[in-house]
Structure 1
Amino acid sequence: MKDIVKIDKVSFQYKGSSKGLLKDVSLSVKQGQTLLLCGASGSGKTTILRLINGLIPHYYLGDLKGVVNVAGFDIKNTQLYDLAGVVGTVFQNPRSQFFSVDTDGEIVFGPENIGLPAEDIKNRAADVIKDMNLYKLLGRSLFELSGGEKQKIACASVSALLPEIVLLDEPSSNLDVNAIKELKKAIEIWKTQGKTIIISEHRLWYLRDIVDRVIYMDSGSLKGDWEGKEFFALPDKTIRNLCLRPVNIEKKFIGNYLNIQDKESYEIKEDADFIELRDFFFSYKKKPYIFWRKKFDLADAKILSLNIPRLRLPRNAVIGVVGNNGTGKSTFLRCLCGLEKDCTGRVIINGIEYHGKKQLDISYMVMQDVNHQLFTDSVEAEVLLSMDKEDKERCNEILTQLGLDGLKDKHPMALSGGQKQRVAIASAMAAGAKILLFDEPTSGLDYLHMVKVAKMLKQLADSNKTVLVSTHDPELIKLCCDYVLQIDNGRAVGITLGSA
């Protein structure tokens, strides 16, 4: 097999950065090979992908030294549009690559953009939809999809271009177990088609039978190179020392928290310390009205995106919120913190009711896409913004706890996905709200930082905060969740004791 990707003695420093990220990196990838890039957040994995798809140096500016050759193209001298049919990329944040407003249009956008005949476009779309089992997502608005569903559409749109090389940046970060299995099938299909696949990933377990080769990165350098079988046979202690997520543990308990109907439900006693939720009804399908808004009633059950008449949550605890993609976890969190104005819900704490704007006063939410809530020009300023009164000493303490103290003067948008997540978590800690909500806080984090986040969530609960964390990571639940709440089609179907 010939080398389809050749990176020769490459060093790169992003414009505006005080130090280089990649340091004299050399890497060759053979045609048809499936390669896994792993390593801590900020180690350079995404930068490698940006070199291969040409975003460096044509979009992300900086000082690039060395040679990058992809499928015979010298990246420095090749325009991005010339690589469109050669390299396809599924980004960590799929919204950043969408061009349409609906799923059908997004799937065929690439083939349309390169001017394929209508019949070819239809055939490609039909094949992709069948291979990736996307029938339930057809005819949907992209704005109504969950994070995992958006990721699936992004994979489909790339697949429709039939590229020689497929790059995936944290493709499973927002997916539930069933969706990960479908993603694995998609990768297997690409593999049988002879495509070269390069995956930057923190979740490792599902790639065991797919990956031919594993590259470990640390601080911008290649520090490990194994055959796939050799890597997945490494002892658990070795994997932990590399700050990687477990390669085996998820298979042992991954189903325990995503299907809890058979587990004994936890009943909150009347004299227990709890937060009560009442009349949490919400629908994305707006009801027509002329003079006043009609409240939801039993007849609305079929259109409700959230249908929780009453729910008691233990106070001062970490509660994992689980469920499949699109089942209502994020909607539940948004309604709980008062972001959805049409939600009829009330929060009752110690006999005091909070509704609407008052819910915003007692809660703080870290969104799944943290780019929506990063506003300032430095990490330090971002954390200080969340405080009622600026307290730089407390700010520095939080940044140190989350491993961000060395980045406090950096612009938040210049950070990696995992680093941005930690900045948002730092802002939540600084806000001082009674209820703290986290939507997939570890989706872009390596194992070491996941452990740190779990520790911080426990500390928040120990400081009289009620913490709800929507997650697909069973490792996180095992590390810190006192209780597990399952959401299924907008309903709270059960709450059980966790593993923490």
Structure 2
Amino acid sequence: MLELNDISFRYGLAEEEKEKDLQDIDLKIYDGQFIVFAGESGCGKTTLSRIMNGLCPSFYEGDLSGSYFIDGENAENKTIDQIGLNIGSVFQDPRSQFFATNSTDEIVLAMENRAYDRDVMRTRLKEVSQRMDMGSLLDKCMFMMSSGEKQKIAIASVCTVKPKVIMLDEPSANLDPEAMENLAGMLEELKQEGYTILVLEHRLYYLRKLMDRLIVLSGGRIIRDIDSTAIAKLTGKQMESLGLRVLEETRLQYSPLAAEDDSPFVEMKHISYKVKRKEILSDINIRVQKGEILALTGQNGAGKSTTCRILSGLVKESGGEVYINGQKCSKGKRIRHNFFVQQDSDYQLYASTVYEEITLGIRSRNIDRDEVIGLLERLHLRQYVNRHPGSLSGGQKQRVLIAASILKKKELLILDEPTSGLDGKHMRELAVLLRDIAGKGTTILLITHDMEFISLVADSTVELANGKTSEKRKILRRIPQE
């Protein structure tokens, strides 16, 4: 059992803030429970998880008060390594916890660090790989794996040391619907085996049948602790009032596509792409009208990000042509027309404050401070204007980049998984904001697996599979699946 009594915490790097990042947390977690922690971005979910797995304050320095017990023993007297034997963590981006380039080496690394007997390591590797049906992923190069496959490796590496508790931070953030279904099945098996499962998550529908408790945080405090019976009775309006996403799976219905203008703003014709003679894309055909919001969907590893990197001018196609506003565009010219918010936000953050980040690249005489502050307020970032972007939560970083993209006023906006790390409230507000700028003439291309978001924002979808694109389909309305 995990027991937290009157836990409060403030990061050392946030000294200018009066409020604590976590306040007055009283929580008991019983063995075998499946608990989901939810709430708006920056509400304290990740901080709470870092306290439970020992990273705060040992790694993330700050002021911690209160008491924390693991199976009746004071966690203050344990090292991070000792806590890790009880609580295994899978981070939001599994790559951030990888040390090996070979999948098998990564899975057994934790056992090697603890000097397990070689026969024990072989036995546990075999047990975990069979239980998780991942034999085909063993002894593979990690760089060639999809997000879902990497996550599977991360979970397997945690399971080999047999902790009592497995904690996952937004495990569905970059997964396609099929991979999310597989993840739910994997978590159900772990629950049946007696593990205590703690999940920090925004997308909730795929966990609805597994949850024993839904704990909602706001402003660093626990505001609701909902049991499984009450979870089943939650309405859409109640979820929205808590700033959360819906509990039902979103399905899309399409209408026949009307005849389109023969002069689309963006057109990709017969695009192909190869890497070392391996064909990644074979026949990509996409047409997007001015002011249209198109969602590009498909499984992890299908080539969606590669397609958008070609369109943005970051990568040169092997064959085919790209047209923008009726003009054939070379790789170099495309860059001037678009702003591309990539999936890994950390790789696009360069400045020392949020204000400097979103105005980066704009001449000072062209910066309208009132417009900047207004945009930050609309994206709920005003209070972080002088904060270092690296100190923000994943969802807040994502919103900083979206603010930067809007401020640049490019004709084409490309967003790769823009709702990764976004809670229900900010996801819905982002949908309204994108509809607003599309209405003013900006063309938007989204890469996303988020059907709830697509139903709120997109005009049409194109699916990518086997290196080819499907016919464009116009969205009619959303149908919640019971």
TM-score (norm 1): 0.89
Deviates more, 1:112-121 or 1:33-42: 112-121
Q: Give 1:219 shift.
A: 0.7
Q: Which residue of 2 aligns with 1:164?
A: 164
1:72-83 to 2 correspondence within 5 Å?
Answer: 72-83=72-83
Deviates more, 1:321-330 or 1:349-358: 349-358
1:235-246 to 2 correspondence within 5 Å?
Answer: 235-246=235-246
| Structure 2 counterpart of 1:317, from 292, 296, 299 | 292
Structure 1 residues without counterparts, runs of 5 or longer: 258-262, 288-302
Q: Give 1:230 shift.
A: 1.4
| Structure 1 counterpart of 2:274, from 277, 283, 304 | 283
Separation of aligned partners in 2, 1:334 and 1:123:
43
Separation of aligned partners in 2, 1:109 and 1:473:
33
Q: Give 1:146 shift.
A: 3.2
Residue aligned with 2:111, SS: helix
- Please list the CA deviations of residues 463-492 of structure 1 after superposition, one character each: whole Å capped at 9, or x if unmatched: 222111111111111101001010112211
8 Å contact kept, 2:267–2:286: yes
1:44-123 to 2 correspondence within 5 Å?
Answer: 44-123=44-123
Q: Give 1:156 shift.
A: 2.0
Residue aligned with 2:197, SS: strand
Separation of aligned partners in 2, 1:489 and 1:26:
50
Q: Which residue of 2 aligns with 1:260?
A: none
Q: Give 1:229 shift.
A: 2.5
Q: Which amino acid aligns with 1:356?
A: K
Q: Which amino acid aligns with 1:67?
A: S
Separation of aligned partners in 2, 1:378 and 1:363:
24
8 Å contact kept, 1:335–1:345: no
Residues 464 and 168 of structure 1: CA distance in aligned 2, closer, same or farther (over 3 Å)? same
Matched, 1:374 2:365: no
The alignment yields a C-alpha RMSD, in angstroms, of 2.0
- Please list the CA deviations of residues 154-213 of structure 1 after superposition, one character each: whole Å capped at 9, or x if unmatched: 222222221111111111111111111111122112212211111111111111221112
Residue aligned with 1:494, SS: coil
Separation of aligned partners in 2, 1:70 and 1:46:
19
Q: Which residue of 2 aligns with 1:215?
A: 215
Residues 486 and 113 of structure 1: CA distance in aligned 2, closer, same or farther (over 3 Å)? same
8 Å contact kept, 1:204–1:246: yes
Residue aligned with 2:101, SS: coil
Q: Which residue of 2 aligns with 1:13?
A: 10
Q: Give 1:387 shift.
A: 2.9
1:174-253 to 2 correspondence within 5 Å?
Answer: 174-248=174-248, 250=249, 253=250
Q: Which residue of 1 aligns with 2:387?
A: 410
Separation of aligned partners in 1, 2:104 and 2:319:
33
Residues 458 and 82 of structure 1: CA distance in aligned 2, closer, same or farther (over 3 Å)? same
Q: Which amino acid aligns with 1:9?
A: D
Q: Which residue of 2 aligns with 1:151?
A: 151
Q: Which amino acid aligns with 1:49?
A: S
Residues 406 and 55 of structure 1: CA distance in aligned 2, closer, same or farther (over 3 Å)? same
Residue aligned with 1:104, SS: helix
Deviates more, 1:371-380 or 1:454-463: 454-463
Q: Give 1:265 shift.
A: 6.6
Separation of aligned partners in 1, 2:379 and 2:328:
34
Residues 427 and 78 of structure 1: CA distance in aligned 2, closer, same or farther (over 3 Å)? same
Matched, 1:327 2:302: yes
Separation of aligned partners in 1, 2:161 and 2:312:
41
Matched, 1:364 2:339: yes
8 Å contact kept, 1:167–1:198: yes
8 Å contact kept, 1:384–1:391: no
Separation of aligned partners in 2, 1:370 and 1:213:
31
Percent identity reads 35
Q: Give 1:72 shift.
A: 4.2
8 Å contact kept, 2:264–2:287: no
Deviates more, 1:151-160 or 1:11-20: 151-160
Q: Give 1:318 shift.
A: 0.7
Residues 407 and 200 of structure 1: CA distance in aligned 2, closer, same or farther (over 3 Å)? same
Q: Give 1:136 shift.
A: 4.5
- Please list the CA deviations of residues 280-332 of structure 1 after superposition, one character each: whole Å capped at 9, or x if unmatched: 22123x24xxxxxxxxxxxxxxx311122543222321111111111111111
Separation of aligned partners in 1, 2:454 and 2:446:
9
Q: Which residue of 1 aligns with 2:460?
A: 483
Q: Which residue of 2 aligns with 1:297?
A: none
Residue aligned with 2:175, SS: coil
Residues 114 and 343 of structure 1: CA distance in aligned 2, closer, same or farther (over 3 Å)? farther
Residues 75 and 283 of structure 1: CA distance in aligned 2, closer, same or farther (over 3 Å)? farther
Separation of aligned partners in 2, 1:392 and 1:449:
23
Q: Which residue of 2 aligns with 1:453?
A: 430
Separation of aligned partners in 2, 1:478 and 1:229:
29
Separation of aligned partners in 1, 2:458 and 2:70:
45
Residues 125 and 205 of structure 1: CA distance in aligned 2, closer, same or farther (over 3 Å)? same
Q: Which residue of 2 aligns with 1:494?
A: 471
Deviates more, 1:216-225 or 1:341-350: 341-350
